[in-house]
Amino acid sequence: MSQKIAAQDDRTDRENEISISESLSEESKRQRDSIDNVGAFGARTGESDLIFFQGILPEINGTIRGSEPIDDQIEMCLDRLELMLENRTASLADVMKVEIQLADADAAAAVDSAYKSRFDDVAFPPRTVVGVCSLPGGAAVQLDVIAAEE
């Protein structure tokens, strides 16, 4: 009896594996062409109503401005985010979640100020602030953002 149950469990596991793998979309795993990013970050992924932006750094004309004050770096990141959203006919009102990575966790107060001023006319999207050891180009801040096209 236990062998029959074990065989049935094995078959169910295989069926679950098949149905799960067949439901995964290969297309949603690829990187798409968009604004060039520095480093190993894609600009967005997938075919859906969600837009993913990762590795948004404080850069101007392809140069990361890691020596600028943290307030300026955050503003540069938010400026780039707005441009990226505009390229997708979206706006800050479409942002659903923001992850902010800081090389200095004590800079969170500067993030609060910039965040409040930029999202002042829309509902604040949820955010996570994470301290990291270092960021590309000596940057003090980097953003990962999820937005939704509606």
Domain ranges of the chain: 26-148
pLDDT in tens, 102-127: 999 889 888 888 888 888 777 888 99
Q: Is the pTM of this model over 0.75?
A: no
Give the N- to C-terminal CA distance of the chain in Å, as an integer. Answer: 54
CA distances 99 to 11, 12, 47, 117, Å, are 41, 38, 21, 17
Topology (CATH level 3) of domain 26-148:
60s Ribosomal Protein L30; Chain: A; (3.30.1330)
pLDDT in tens, 15-59: 444 443 343 334 333 444 445 555 555 555 555 688 999 999 999
Please calculate the CA angle 125-43-46 and round it to the nearest 5 degrees: 85
Sheet hosting strand 95-102, strand order edge to edge: 50-56, 141-148, 95-102, 127-131
Query: Both tokens of residue 84?
Result: 């990226």
pLDDT in tens, 29-41: 344 444 555 555 5
